[in-house]
Structure formats: structure tokens, C-alpha cells
Amino acid sequence: MTDHSSLAQRLRAAYQLGPIAPLRDGLAPDDATSAYAVQAINTRYWVERGRRIVGRKVGLTSLAVQKQFGVNQPDFGVLFEDMQLIDGGVLDCDAMLQPRAEAEVALVLGADVTSLTATPDDIAAATHHAFAAIEIVDSRIADWKITFADTVADNGSSARFVLGKQACSLDELDLYTCGMVLEVNGAVASVGAGAACLGHPLNAAAWLARTLAAAGEPLRAGDVVLTGALGPMITLAPGDHIMAKIGGLGAVSFTYGESV
């Protein structure tokens, strides 16, 4: 039997001690059930020690990336309050292991979404505002040699997130055709569009809502939902200034500061 607790402890230790080998000795690459069990153990561990959940993130929203991992659905991880970096802020290099960044559409919910059959229209009705966002991902698995199970167990390879200052009503937006440009030090590093995120960012959020409702942990009013990447992620180097610009949502940025 899989020792979920041991795998969870191994991942927690990596935050302080550095990346670890892939979890192949305890998790089959496609074992979603065990991977989410490991994620849940660490979520409970952190909540019991005072961290506060403020939402969820959706990953693997690109069909090409799903094919790479041999899966036919996205994955999700938990967002904690202490993971949020202010727009224009500085991210301490010492807090990261092997970080990357990607631009996303973030939703902040104004109502619970409890339906097992939640649709994109249900998500739109429940959304208070949308924001341009950058997710900083990081892996506790050495050299990013991850399987689907590795990234799920590792809380969706999550690290930090940044929300832009411009709160937008969905009525003002076309999240399907909206373009995205991700810049590093003023140079274009990644481009994409809303349609790259599972066909539409609201599709990703609806999948998440259905999945969490089925698990008895539905999305709640006030939750932040990172809906998934609009284009390829980029690797961070100390001193990099990262800015994402998304059509209709404005800009959001941070600097990956030098180690202290």
C-alpha cells in the first residue's frame, strides 16, 4: 500500500532542504487518487499550523501538456493566503527552489458554487471580479522531472501568485479571444490567449467547481481561482522583472529579487 503520510512528509521537507527525487517509488505516474491523498495530508498539516486557504489553482489546462502527461483532465492545488505577492512586489529568491512563471486569468467569487454540474455560465454568475494574474510555480521535484502524480501530490507545483490592481466585471470582457503577453525585463517571452486555457478560462473554473463539489469541498464566495496558463511558462533568473498584460484586464508584475 502507498504510504501517503511518508510521501507528504518528504515533500514538506523539500521546501527547506531542496528538491527531491521523483516520487516514483511511492506513486505510479497516473495515480491521481493517491496523489490527491498526499496533497490533502499536507493541506491539513498546513491549515492546522495556521495557514489560511484563500482559493484554488487549476493546472494542466493545455491539451498539449495533458497529452504530454498522458491525462485527459486538468489538476488542481490549494492557494494559501501567504502565497500572495502584491502587484509590483519583490519575490525573495531564497524562498524559491526552481521557479517559473505563467500568466493567467484570476477570478474572485462573489457566491458559492456547490453544483455537481456547474457550467461556465454558473461560474460567470458567481464571479465578482476578474483580474490579470501571474502564477509563480515551483517544483519540489528535482529538475522538474515530474509526472502527473508528482505535480498533484506537490500541491500542483504551486508557489506564489500575483493579482493585478484592476478589478474587472466579466460583462466587460471577452476571455476567449483576450490576448496575453508575458514580458521579462521588457522583452516578450511568452504569448497566448484565453482560448489556450481549456478552450476558455471559465471552462477550467467550471471543471474545478464540479471536481471540488464532488469531493465535498465546494468553491465559496471570496475564493480566488487561478484558471490556468494562457501561454507557455518562463523560467526565472534573479533580478528578472516580470510583467503580464492581458487584453481587457490590464497588467500585473513582480520582480524576482536578488538573494539576500
Domains and CATH numbers, the chain: 4-257 (3.90.850.10)
What is the tens place of the pLDDT at every residue in 168-182? Answer: 999 989 999 999 999
Question: In this predicted structure, what is the pLDDT of residue 13?
Answer: 97
Question: Cβ(172)–Cβ(137) under 8 Å?
Answer: no
What is the tens place of the pLDDT at every residue in 52-69? Answer: 999 999 999 988 778 777
**CA–CA distance, 38 with 162 (Å, rounded to integer):** 26
Cell triple for 131: 483580474
Look-up of cell digits 490527491: 36
Question: Parallel, antiparallel, or unpaired: how do β-strands 250-257 and 127-137 relate?
Answer: unpaired
Question: Parallel, antiparallel, or unpaired: how do β-strands 179-184 and 187-193 relate?
Answer: antiparallel
CA 19 to chain centroid, in Å, comes to 19
User: pTM, whole model, 2 decimals?
Assistant: 0.95
Spans of the chain, pLDDT less than 70: 1-2, 259-260
Among 135, 137, 136, 141, smallest CA distance to 153 is for 141
Question: Would you give the DSSP letter of residue 158?
Answer: E
CA 238 to chain centroid, in Å, comes to 21
**CA–CA distance, 157 with 147 (Å, rounded to integer):** 11
**CA–CA distance, 145 with 120 (Å, rounded to integer):** 33
Question: In this predicted structure, what is the pLDDT of residue 150?
Answer: 96
